[in-house]
Structure 1
Amino acid sequence: MTFLTRAGTTVAAALTAVACVGSAPGAAPGPYPATPSAAAARPSVARGLTDPRPCPGQSDVTCADLTVPLDRTGTVPGTLQLRIAVFGKADAPRGTLLFLTGGPGQPGVPYVQRIRDRLPEALAQYRLVMIDQRGTGGAAVDCPELQKEVGSSDTVAPTPGAVTACAESLGAKRNFFTTADTVADLEDLRRALGVRSWTLDGVSYGTFTAGQYALTHPHRVRKLVLDSVVPLDGAGVLYEDALGHSARVLRTACREQRCGFDPARDLATVVRRDGNGAGVFNLLVIASIIDPKLDNARFGILNAIHASAAGDRTRLDGLVAGFSAPSEEPPSEFSSGLHAATLCADSRWPWGDASAPVEERERALKRAVQRIRPAKVWPFERETAGAQGIPRTCLPWPASRPNDAAPRHTLTMPVLLLAGDRDLSTPVQWARDLAAVTPRAELVVVEGAGHSTQSRSDAGAQQAEKFLLR
């Protein structure tokens, strides 16, 4: 087996690059045969949810459906059926906990068992609710060419043709996958469950969704856990903070493993010589999710960078190719089409919002890249900021309806912000920036952790439970 195949297999098995809560249960999808005792143990669901049934492989979890309009203005007809999972009793002592997964593009229901395993003490006192947000799961947006090119990666740059083919296949529907649409779905869910207020816990893009909901409906939110924070103003699309943070992550890994050289300086040499910054950055982001300490024995990334700086490009070029190889991840596990539609609508772009004409965007992006201070993104070149997958996905995305901004700008409820100090997907600076403008924020930086601390770090899960049970 060649290394490229091994790398591709490893990446496919890893969780999403911006969106992860952990490994989904291994049970195959499909109806689960209920028994009288299992049915008795399942929690009841509100009348606003239809077709209650046992969730696949989990007899004590109830799945049901929430029907919502595609377009709440009624201009474009149609409805969406969103799958919901409920675990625990409606009269749980601390109420209902809505856990939101990431992406955008990742479903929620397959991860119920993972969250139960990670937050057992909290879920002894909360009822857990999870949702396949619009465009994910069994009703995922399916764009085959884009799905194959990028899978669940933010930082792999797709071809313009794959992006436009996806948008054209969606047609007018592409306008209704904004986070504001999802926020409205969540409010419908709250009403269907019959709860006056609840607690929200979001990971990665889930922090954006949870934050937007809390800004829109502050009196409905008791507490917030925001793990691996995405900026709530839609900024950060050029990834300057992550590019610059890579130097610290590489040097810390080298110091811990006594590698005997400076991998950040070597990386600076390589990307300036070879112009491969976007590919190397994608490699580091994905590898840091799989292994935030960048164990050199696992992928050999530190040695590969050092060898390439010295003139032997073979190993690093193989890693870069392997980590950007075509994906076999199905849209039901992560929808790259939904990811594009939501990302392009929600974000704050150098060219304005999603309604900006496509032909004006490249010039605006180039101007924004030239304004970046080189020291901010070192060891990368600033051109890497414009070449990585996030802007390259949305440059050709047709003009569309932008996300409706939340009516408020400040979170007023108690908020726990969790960040891994090795996270290159949602760098710790984003959490620090949000903490600085949130009056009741508590920031916990988990040492040695990367993305999705509750799922991949015992310390992160413990901090979340401590906050939830306070």
Structure 2
Amino acid sequence: MPFPARRALALAAALVLAPLAHAAAPLKPCRVDGIPTELQCGSLERPLDPARPDGVKVDIHYLVVPALARNKQPDAVLLLAGGPGQSAIKVAARVLPRLSRLNNRRDLVFIDQRGTGKSAPLDCPDDSKLSVAEQLEPAAQMRRIDECRATLEKLPYGKDGGLRFFTTTLAMQDMEAVRERLSVPQWNLVGASYGTRAAVEYLRLFPTKVRRTVIDGVAPPDMVLPASFSTDGQAALDKLFEAHAKTHPELRADWQKLLASLPRSVSVQQPLTGVAERFSVDRDLVMRSVRGPLYQPALAAALPAAIHAAASEANFAPLFGLTTAFGSSPSMRLAMGMHFSVICAEDASRIAESKDAPGADFRTVDAEMYARVCKAWPRGDVAPDFYKIPPAPSPVLVLSGGADPATPPRHGEHVAQALGAGHPERVQHIVVAEAGHGVMPVGCMRDLIFRFIDAKRDAAALPQDAACATRIPRPVAFQPVQAAK
């Protein structure tokens, strides 16, 4: 979620550009969008395919925000970005306010995972200014994905099946190489969304190189993402209906009325360009439009009014406006080529094995979409052990939002139990009942995370008291302002 710009600016203005005491290789001054002062950047050449060290190489880019204090701690904080497909460096300005207290005595490190940002990017063209129908209509999406894949396969690191070498496992090997380059003895991992899967894999591969771990909005390695989208999205939608039953008793009826009216021709203005357009809306298009706002309770609070407008007035502008608002920030855009390289390798082949029952409204639209994309997308190799979660070697803080439509508490609980096997005192699972996708920005959570990582002894790191966050209520439903008659 967005943070006030002045907070990021105030933090950045206080940063001191000093050489890393533990750096084994020189870093050079650099600038990052949203941060007005110079930071430190570096890159590391890595083989695209580890089995062919003399073959194609990719550069892994990283950003270091130096600790403010001279007597800093040696264990840096590593942010593992979400998606899959998000650039860690591009979200640095948004994340810094959450980690400002940790940055007093610890370096913060942001690594663009292979396939994202500047690290052998697998970007697809930005479609935010396309017509609403082109953005959301499945056939148009498929055409753009096919065109993007064909373009990426012409890149030096995309040729000859190169898209197979962007899996989570290979990416975590890159992260380990960066740790060695910076001579960081141990990371404190902070992973969000897909970054939680990355963190769990790093823990599995390099257990002695992690001091503390925070995973927020947990996407387990054995989670079949396309199939779980339907199950978890439906649960979040049903919870929305229940939460607003008193203030909007007609909400469920409006929803059923809306679905029963489809397909239908509608006219709306493209939210970014303002250009009016007419197109046909079907059930799948409406389900895709509802999903995005569910990620953020502040946006979801406007869904009752948007659903009512669409069902009773045939006014779809509020609904599609909310869809465009979600993820509209450039820093939140995903490298969709990397996204599909990860999902097609790690999840798509297991869709048929999933035990998640499709949601009554969401059905199997997402699973079908990914199955279609992954038929043609090159798939990397995934070791069977990737899907196993070993006991945690060090303290882990697991965070879940109760209203999250993508990574709700059931996934966090599953991972917490696996990580805590044999040593349950090493793991704590905190559920913020009315939070959406991502708990770190909520209330006092950044201070809680600071206390967890900063604790000198493992025994003092957990448990943490999260009452200051767990009692935060859901935002009240948005009420449109009616002009006086």
TM-score, normalised with respect to structure 2 = 0.72
CA distance in 2, matches of 1:211, 1:69: 23
C-alpha contact (below 8 Å) 2:41/2:64 kept by paired residues = yes
SS of equivalent to 1:260? coil
Q: 1:244 to 1:432 in 2, by over 3 A?
A: farther
Q: Percent identity?
A: 23
Aligned amino acid, residue 396 of structure 2: V
> What is aligned with 2:294?
288
CA distance in 2, matches of 1:141, 1:372: 30
C-alpha contact (below 8 Å) 2:399/2:439 kept by paired residues = yes
Task: Please show how residues 192-271 of structure 1 align to structure 2 within 5 Å.
Answer: 192-238=181-227, 239-255=229-245, 258-261=247-250, 263-264=251-252, 266-268=254-256, 270-271=258-259
Aligned amino acid, residue 159 of structure 1: Q
Aligned residues: 408
> What is aligned with 1:443?
429
C-alpha contact (below 8 Å) 1:23/1:111 kept by paired residues = no
Q: Cα distance, 1:332 vs. partner? A: 9.8
CA distance in 1, matches of 2:103, 2:372: 40
CA distance in 2, matches of 1:77, 1:285: 42
* Gaps in structure 1 of 5+ consecutive residues: 1-20, 27-36, 352-363
> What is aligned with 1:402?
381
CA distance in 2, matches of 1:393, 1:453: 31
> What is aligned with 2:44?
66
> What is aligned with 1:46?
23
> What is aligned with 1:119?
99
Aligned amino acid, residue 428 of structure 2: E
CA distance in 2, matches of 1:331, 1:102: 11
C-alpha contact (below 8 Å) 1:293/1:448 kept by paired residues = no
> What is aligned with 2:481?
none
C-alpha contact (below 8 Å) 1:137/1:332 kept by paired residues = no
CA distance in 2, matches of 1:235, 1:432: 16
SS of equivalent to 2:440? helix
> What is aligned with 1:461?
446
SS of equivalent to 1:62? strand
* Gaps in structure 2 of 5+ consecutive residues: 7-13, 154-160, 264-281, 421-425, 455-460, 462-485
C-alpha contact (below 8 Å) 1:98/1:130 kept by paired residues = yes
Aligned amino acid, residue 219 of structure 1: T
Q: 1:121 to 1:260 in 2, by over 3 A?
A: same
Aligned amino acid, residue 420 of structure 1: G
Higher mean C-alpha deviation, range 406-415 or range 263-272: 263-272
Q: Cα distance, 1:329 vs. partner? A: 7.4
Task: Please show how residues 291-440 of structure 1 align to structure 2 within 5 Å.
Answer: 291-292=297-298, 294-296=300-302, 301-306=303-308, 308-309=310-311, 312=312, 314-316=314-316, 319-320=319-320, 323=323, 333-350=333-350, 373=357, 377-378=359-360, 380=361, 382-387=363-368, 390-394=370-374, 396-406=375-385, 408-412=388-392, 413-439=394-420, 440=426
C-alpha contact (below 8 Å) 2:75/2:185 kept by paired residues = no
> What is aligned with 2:142?
160
1:409-448 CA-partner distances (Å, limit 9, x unpaired): 2241321111122222322322122223221321111233
Q: Cα distance, 1:39 vs. partner? A: 7.8
Q: Cα distance, 1:59 vs. partner? A: 3.5
Aligned amino acid, residue 377 of structure 1: G
Aligned amino acid, residue 96 of structure 1: A
Q: Cα distance, 1:45 vs. partner? A: 6.3
Higher mean C-alpha deviation, range 196-205 or range 233-242: 233-242
Aligned amino acid, residue 89 of structure 2: V
Within the candidate set 37, 54, 65, 1:87 is matched to 65
C-alpha contact (below 8 Å) 1:292/1:422 kept by paired residues = no
Task: Please show how residues 178-197 of structure 1 align to structure 2 within 5 Å.
Answer: 178-197=167-186
1:443-466 CA-partner distances (Å, limit 9, x unpaired): 1112332122213x2233233223
Which structure has more relative contact order (CA 8 Å, sep 6+)? It is 1
Aligned amino acid, residue 403 of structure 1: V
CA distance in 1, matches of 2:101, 2:367: 44
Q: 1:425 to 1:264 in 2, by over 3 A?
A: farther
> What is aligned with 2:90?
110
Q: 1:381 to 1:332 in 2, by over 3 A?
A: closer
Higher mean C-alpha deviation, range 270-279 or range 427-436: 270-279
Aligned amino acid, residue 77 of structure 1: G
C-alpha contact (below 8 Å) 1:344/1:397 kept by paired residues = no
SS of equivalent to 2:407? coil
Question: 1:129 and 2:109 equivalent?
Answer: yes
C-alpha contact (below 8 Å) 1:203/1:228 kept by paired residues = yes
